[in-house]
Amino acid sequence: MSVVIYAESADGKLKKVAFELASYAKKIAESLGTTVTAVTVNAENVSELSNYGVAKVLKVTNDKLANFNAKAYADVVKQAAQKEGTKVIVLSSTTDSLYLAPLVSIGLEAGFASNVVGLPLSTSPFQVKRTAFSNKAFNITEISTDVKVLSISKNSFGLVESASSISEEDFAPTLNDADFSVKVESVEKSTGKVTIADADIVVSGGRGMKGPENWGMIEELASVLGAATACSKPVSDIGWRPHSEHVGQTGKPVASNLYFAIGISGAIQHIAGINSSKVKVVINTDAEAPFFKVADYGIIGDALDIVPRLTQKLKEFKAQNS
């Protein structure tokens, strides 16, 4: 009857979002009088999950699952949930899990709530608070099915340490050819030091950077901040940056603690995709740019002049406070 989470990993290492899910699930498990079980796929070291309240890990090791496959991974999570007899499955809001969650829900005949931003308001009836209308509003959703699937918005809960003993168990779910009907032909990975999915800070550039030759400014600022680099859709469309860095409603959703929009006017799709970010800083020459209407801080001016100066000031601040 444990609460089950899917703890995502990349290249064998658990992602930060896995620890946020564990923190969230631990609180639900306490209210339900149960424990937390994590499902991992090809993860090498899972012991760190014990720092966030996970009591048991079902470790799946399978070369066929080297690349994410929504149908196959959904089958893994479904079978793990059935094995544990769980009533609550908690997933993240990463791109992979957004594909995964509906399939898990169908497989378990479970109610599904996406974009959840807090612990259940009530467990009987089971009610959660969610964002709606591209993060412009909230609603309260009641799930009446026996099994519930929740997708948690990134950075909405944070990391809460809760040390526990942990057991690890090899788990070999039954997978068939139908699970692999979709084939992965190639995988494009961004080369930044920090991935967009794991970043607390994102530095994003648009056409206001005037050309790919100026992107070193974005990368240097990101390096000083320990941030991920990103870009607007037009920038990836014209080939200045890889599509893996495109953020927004039609790219990767971003819910960082701090988001820099540099030389990005603020198309509605872009703003909708990053609106869950807590603090937004905009740098743009156009004082009427739509982004300024949603910004927490705005600088009107040429990014090619402002960004190097901002980077230098941050370097000086870090040197004085290190």
Query: Which residues have C-beta within 8 Å of that of residue 152, sequence separation ≥ 6?
Result: 20, 21, 24, 90, 91, 92, 93, 116, 117
Phi and psi for 250 in degrees, rounded to 5? Answer: -95, 0
The stretch 177-203 carries a mean pLDDT of 78
- Split at pLDDT 50, 70, 90, the class of 179 is confident
Q: Quick check: 238 pLDDT over 90?
A: yes
Q: What tokens appear for 190 in the block? A: 């961004």
Give residue 187's pLDDT. Answer: 75
Q: What tokens appear for 181 in the block? A: 């009907």
**In contact, 151 and 116? CB cutoff 8 Å:** yes
pTM of structure: 0.78
How far apart CA 116 and CA 132 sit, in angstroms, is 10
On average, the pLDDT of the chain sits at: 92
Give residue 20's pLDDT. Answer: 94
Give residue 189's pLDDT. Answer: 67
The stretch 15-32 carries a mean pLDDT of 94
Give residue 195's pLDDT. Answer: 78
Cis amide prior to 308 (ω within 30 degrees): no
The stretch 234-242 carries a mean pLDDT of 94
The stretch 218-227 carries a mean pLDDT of 95
Give residue 93's pLDDT. Answer: 87
How far apart CA 92 and CA 106 sit, in angstroms, is 17
The stretch 117-127 carries a mean pLDDT of 93
Lowest mean pLDDT among 203-207, 272-276, 288-292, 293-297: 272-276
Q: Quick check: 192 pLDDT over 60?
A: no
Nearest to 137 by CA among 162, 117, 158: 117
Give residue 32's pLDDT. Answer: 93
Residue tagged 């896995």 (tokens):
18
Give residue 90's pLDDT. Answer: 97
- Split at pLDDT 50, 70, 90, the class of 255 is confident
Give residue 198's pLDDT. Answer: 72
Give residue 183's pLDDT. Answer: 82
Q: What percent of the chain has pLDDT over 90?
A: 76
The stretch 221-225 carries a mean pLDDT of 95
Give residue 165's pLDDT. Answer: 93
The answer to whether the Cα torsion of 294, 204, 259, 114 is positive or negative is positive
Q: Which comes out higher in pLDDT, residue 187 or 166?
A: 166
